[in-house]
Amino acid sequence: MNKKQILKRLLQIVIVLIGISFITFALTFMSPGDPVRNMYTATGVMPTEEMIEETREELGLNDPFFVQYTRWLTNCVKGDFGKSYSLNKPVTELLLSRLWPTLKLTLMSMFLMLLISVPLGLISAIYKDKWMDYVIRALTFLGCSIPNFWMGLLLMLAFCVYIHAFPVISSSGDFKSLFLPALTLAIAMSAKYTRQVRTAVLDELSQDYVIGAEARGIKKSRIIWCNVFPNSLLPLTTMFGLSIGSLLGGTSVVEVIFSYPGLGNLAVSAITSSDYNLIQGYVLWMALIYMVINLLVDVSYRYIDPRMRLKE
Amino acid sequence: MKKKNVFLQNKTFVIFSVLAALIILTAIFAPLVTGGADPVKGVLADALLPPSKEHIFGTDKMGRDIFTRVIYGARVSLSSTFAVVALILIVGTITGITAGYFGGWVDAVIMRIADMMLAFPGLVLALAVAGIMGASIKNAIIAIVAVSWTKYARLARSLVLKIRNCDYVSAAVVTGSKTSHILFRYMLPNALPTLLVTAATDIGSMMLELAAMSFLGFGALPPAPEWGYMLNEGRACMQTAPWMMIFPGLAIFVVVVVFNMLGDSIRDILDPRDE
């Protein structure tokens, strides 16, 4: 990617963000839940009709749609996503405080995923159509079909209730409480990733240079470690980047199961208490992070694959 | 005789379509399978009983038989999953064919919306949509359809673009065929097989997404029996009654495996690439 392409992508990100902000804002505008009422019930006050009307006026909730939307959008651009109705704190502050735990969980599960899927994928490709390959393929198939929240509950049952090796509630954020949620996410992803590793390695193995090297009597293990494996890393980077992005958004179910204090958990509680500012802030931030990661992955090709630089 | 050969050659397809049919029949004839037990009303005296001869999957904290609820749950899960897949297929096909055939600004608008949806982790938006509109199966279905149709739209568009400039299409235009005729007689039949195969392989993952939504409390409402929500209830009683979460989860797992295998075998039969 050259500079012009990167600029174009950045522009695209801005357009998509505006579109998403419009959709989420329109949705919350049309929604049946009443944030003011929720705000009062959260603090334990039984509000009168006048109080509600007054607060609505104060928060600007009685203005026409486009007035509210542009006001909100200009504030967002300035970095101010408003206040969370239910938690009575600035949205940006809340999101930032939860970002690190989710990031930790994401990185940990990516690490576990690589630990599981790369060796399995390699073995499966090298011993193609042998029993090991069949076992691994069957496992990946089952892994794709198992609901990750059930997997999480089963792991919890086994390791927290029966063996007491890990805490049931992972709110402290240390390694022990991080491990099971990360493992749950890693198992689900490994199932897909192992297949991808297998395909990528098989693709490389069928290249002519492998036959050439074999014909010259170079050891198979040397070919695999020095040529095939490094070459098959490129297609894997794309998937790696994409899965970081989808993980950041897809952790909510697992976070809820393990009561992990991350972004996903925050988002779910925001949704149940119709905390619009928080939902909108969360959705926009997630979209931004996801797209920036995808852009970085695309840019990184330039450095990983010299051919990309030659093309330009 | 040719037909028989096809079936003999595709054993996995036969086995898993029979299993899928069995699952669907179980859901339809749920009252017969469960012997007339009520999935919603329970006997409080029988609460949290472990699996036994009378209640083979045990009972939940309201004293309801879990086996009955799992069987009835198949109705909700299957019907909502099929609804999602059918809706995505319809919406995606219509928008995709329209975008591909007409091109120009119609194409630009539809595809930019599709790009927007793709630039985004789907479940996040689905959760937001379902949460904002309020929890119900209907809203969960709408939310998943809203974020998943783009895949089919892109596919349908690319399939239409492939034949858009074929001679026979141009001939139809020149001889004055109506646009609707071209769309239904040429574009749709060409795009449909691939789209249907994709839909078949997506049944399993859509079922998982719906169950996840219900698990988080944005889908089925209690006391309706639904697997995702049952798992949610089971989570609270995990230490005392693990059977409450084991069996609904197992049900999702088994059904998803069957439909995934079925989808894969349909794709293997129809996809010429593997030959």
User: What is the per-residue pLDDT for B31?
Assistant: 85
User: What is the per-residue pLDDT for B275?
Assistant: 39
- The verdict on a CB contact (< 8 Å) between A142 and B257 is yes
3-state secondary structure labels for all residues of chain A = CCHHHHHHHHHHHHHHHHHHHHHHHHHHHHCCCCHHHHHHHHHCCCCCHHHHHHHHHHHCCCCCHHHHHHHHHHHHHCCCCCECCCCCCEHHHHHHHHHHHHHHHHHHHHHHHHHHHHHHHHHHHHCCCCHHHHHHHHHHHHHHHCCHHHHHHHHHHHHHHHCCCCCCCCCCCCHHHHHHHHHHHHHHHHHHHHHHHHHHHHHHHCCHHHHHHHHCCCCHHHHHHHHHHHHHHHHHHHHHHHHHHHHHHHCHHHHHHCCCCCHHHHHHHHHHCCCHHHHHHHHHHHHHHHHHHHHHHHHHHHHHCHHHHHHC
Nearest to A147 among B112, B121, B249 (CB): B249
Q: Does A267 touch chain B (CB under 8 A)?
A: yes
Higher pLDDT: B134 or A266? It is A266
Question: Is ipTM over 0.85?
Answer: no
- What are the tens digits of pLDDT across the range B104-163? 888 888 888 887 777 666 777 788 777 777 788 888 899 899 888 988 999 999 999 888
Q: Does B95 have pLDDT greater than 60?
A: yes
Higher pLDDT: A271 or A60? It is A271
Higher pLDDT: A221 or B85? It is B85
User: What is the per-residue pLDDT for B156?
Assistant: 92
CA A214/CA A206 separation, integer angstroms? 12
Give the mean pLDDT of B67-87. 92
Q: How many CB atoms lie within 10 A of CB A215?
A: 8
Mutate to test the interface with B, among A28, A153, A164 (most CBs of B within 10 A): A153
Q: Does A288 touch chain B (CB under 8 A)?
A: no
User: What is the per-residue pLDDT for B20?
Assistant: 93
Q: Does A134 have pLDDT greater than 90?
A: yes
Which chain A residues are closer than 8 Å to B116 by Cβ? 16, 19-20
Nearest to A290 among B112, B119, B257 (CB): B119
Q: Does B123 touch chain A (CB under 8 A)?
A: yes
CA A278/CA A71 separation, integer angstroms? 16
Mutate to test the interface with A, among B16, B216, B226 (most CBs of A within 10 A): B216
- The verdict on a CB contact (< 8 Å) between B216 and A32 is no
Q: How many domains does chain B have?
A: 1
Q: What percent of chain A has pLDDT over 70?
A: 94
CA B104/CA A229 separation, integer angstroms? 44
User: What is the per-residue pLDDT for B153?
Assistant: 92
- What are the tens digits of pLDDT across the range B236-271? 888 888 888 899 999 999 999 999 999 988 888 876
The nearest CA of chain A is from the CA of B126 a distance in Å of 11
Give the mean pLDDT of B22-44. 82
Give the mean pLDDT of A3-22. 84
Domain that holds residue B176: 2-274
Give the residues across from B65 on adjacent strands.
B59
Please report the residues numbered 13 through 32 in chain A whose beta carbons come closer than 8 angstroms to any beta carbon of chain B. 13, 15-16, 19-20, 24, 27-28, 31-32
- The residue written with tokens 């939504």 in the block is B213
**Which CATH number goes with the domain that contains B80?**
1.10.3720.10
User: What is the per-residue pLDDT for A32?
Assistant: 67
Q: Is B59 helix (H, G, I), strand (E, B) or coil?
A: strand
Q: How many residues does chain A have?
A: 312
Higher pLDDT: B178 or A30? It is B178
Q: Does B18 have pLDDT greater than 90?
A: yes
User: What is the per-residue pLDDT for A273?
Assistant: 79
Which chain A residues are closer than 8 Å to B253 by Cβ? 145-147, 150
Ranges A103-112, A159-168, B3-12: which has the least confidence: B3-12
Chain B nearest-CA residue for A20: B116
- Residue type for position A305: D
Nearest to B121 among A149, A248, A256 (CB): A248
Q: Does A157 touch chain B (CB under 8 A)?
A: yes
Query: Of the spans A1-5, A118-122, B121-125, which averages the highest pLDDT?
Result: A118-122
Q: Does A15 have pLDDT greater than 80?
A: yes
- What are the tens digits of pLDDT across the range B209-227? 899 888 888 888 878 889 9
- Domains of chain A with CATH codes: 98-270 (1.10.3720.10)
Answer yes or no: are the C-beta atoms of A178 and A167 closer than 8 Å: no
CA B77/CA B208 separation, integer angstroms? 10
User: What is the per-residue pLDDT for A173?
Assistant: 63
CA A20/CA A16 separation, integer angstroms? 6
- What are the tens digits of pLDDT across the range A45-89? 777 778 778 877 777 777 788 888 888 888 888 878 888 877 788
- What are the tens digits of pLDDT across the range B45-58? 777 777 887 777 88
Give the mean pLDDT of A87-101. 86
The nearest CA of chain A is from the CA of B226 a distance in Å of 14
Q: Does B274 have pLDDT greater than 60?
A: no
Q: Does B1 have pLDDT greater than 50?
A: no
